[in-house]
Chain A
């Protein structure tokens, strides 16, 4: 049996690092977007305070959502680039 423990450890570590960056990092960005949406909407909050609507916060929230969407889109194109080149003949520079 030739089992390369070093390469298993390396790939495990990279799966964990990439997993945390994308699998926890993107939900974090999405959550920040949700927080900004909530701020942007104004009105009565859970603690009873009332704030005015804040358009800047609302725009910022959409920026966060857009970043998340772009990262996901990039990921999808990266993963399907083989198929895209096969079916459509487009070589993506990813």
Chain B
């Protein structure tokens, strides 16, 4: 596919038409995959903001996801200072200051690393969604990039200290920080309002819940849509269509922002009902004061932590807050079996996504070029389709998201071999 099949490359101010080369095809597949990742990031994380409001009935499920989607969209547009250096905390493929591609790295290798990393992230997001596990989308992306980077460049391509200091340590700390803040908040709330009439308390805190959940949604849009924008920007830099100086001077091309904000909002609107259910019903039985304290803790931490020198994953913070709201409330019960399985999921996220990323890179690289890129894309579509089909056998949607939670563990056993029997 090296001949000039024509096509004008949109968004560029160049006077000459861009030839449809193999690299351009790979770039286009990469962008489609990045947008798909952004979409999974949206529905994977709806629960972080809205699970508590849906569980307590403060918002109807459809209203909750619509509100969250709009705020994610707004958040996506608010992120001007885009994380063009998104890969630098795990990989050494771009300059940590400017975002430019490292010298000596050819465009196709760089694009394949990003592409395979995205595939790893998407497949892990889909699998954890199937199991109803709220795992971090950022970790899935970092894991995928890590694996693809290892496969392409070996251990020297990995930013090990960044991985430890910016990804692993914050992930280990964040549930405890969020849990502590939420536990203190819940304890104070119940202590102060114990004389208040139940109906008034429930109603008052519902407003607080909606407000705090909205803040979490907005924060999610500003933080997470940015990551995909950064990935697409890096793909364009690798391809040579965009330079880090242009981004520095004019900001990102508007179409990237529109695409990413739109994809994350659409994903959020579809709602990852399986994860919403685990977070809202599976971990702790929530009432509205608890939900409000949990979301206030999440919002405060997510919105301030990056300004305080520590970027924390929305998912880890939200889950920690919800558990904390169960710990801090006298007499509340936390299903530690569910929490335990979640933690196992978190620990597996980096290595599992890395494995998929590495395998994908090998496969793509082995075939190479446009054929390799299409093969990788095909694997993604087939695997994603299989996971979706499995999910339809045990459907969770807005109609049954709040059904009574039975048992101590998660509902869908990881032994997918038992597929077929309906819940």
Contacts and interface: CB of A to CB of B under 8 A. Distances in A.
A28 B308 contact: no
A90 to B, nearest CB: 14
Contact of A46 (B198, B215, B308, B312): B198
Given A31-B188, A38-B200, A45-B197, A24 B181 contact: yes
Contacts of B303: 75, 79
Nearest to B74: A80
Interface core residue of A7, A12, A45, A75 (most chain B CB under 10 Å): A12
Contact of B177 (A7, A19, A22): A19
A55 interface: no
Nearest to A84: B78
Contact of A1 (B160, B182, B301, B312): B160
B423 interface: no
Interface in A43-94: 45-46, 72, 75-76, 79-80, 82-83, 86-87
A35 B195 contact: yes
Contacts of B81: 82
Contacts, number: 134
A75 B201 CA distance: 26
B312 A2 contact: no
B79 A83 contact: yes
Interface string B160-171: 110011000100
Residue among A16, A23, A33, A34 facing the most chain B CB atoms (10 A cut-off) = A23
A16 B180 contact: yes
Interface in B153-188: 160-161, 164-165, 169, 173, 177-178, 180-182, 184-185, 188
Given A23-B300, A24-B184, A28-B188, A72 B293 contact: no
Give the interface size class of chain B: 35 or more
Contacts of A33: 204
A31 B308 CA distance: 27
Given A1-B164, A3-B165, A18-B304, A31 B192 contact: yes
Contacts of B305: 15, 19
B156 to A, nearest CB: 13
Nearest to A80: B78
Nearest to A45: B197
A86 B81 CA distance: 10
Contact of A24 (B196, B293, B312): B293
Contact of A19 (B208, B215, B301): B301
Main secondary structure of the interface of A (DSSP, over half): helix
B308 A18 contact: yes
A31 B189 contact: yes
A14 B301 CA distance: 10
Contact of A14 (B78, B80, B165, B308): B308
Contacts of A16: 177, 180-181
Contact of B80 (A20, A26, A82): A82
Contact of A3 (B164, B173, B188, B298): B164
Contacts of B115: none
Contacts of B208: 27, 30
B309 interface: yes
B311 to A, nearest CB: 10
Given A27-B292, A37-B200, A82-B80, A22 B304 contact: yes
Contacts of B181: 16, 19-20, 23-24
B195 A15 contact: no
B177 A11 contact: no
A82 B77 CA distance: 12
A36 to B, nearest CB: 10
Interface of B: 77-81, 160-161, 164-165, 169, 173, 177-178, 180-182, 184-185, 188-189, 192-193, 195-198, 200-201, 204-205, 208, 211, 215, 218, 222, 251, 289, 292-293, 296-301, 303-305, 307-310, 312
Top-8 shortest CB links A-B = A23-B300, A24-B185, A11-B309, A22-B300, A23-B297, A34-B204, A31-B192, A19-B181
Given A18-B308, A19-B297, A34-B205, 14 more contacts: A2-B161, A3-B169, A11-B308, A12-B173, A15-B312, A19-B178, A23-B297, A23-B301, A26-B300, A27-B293, A34-B200, A37-B200, A37-B204, A83-B79
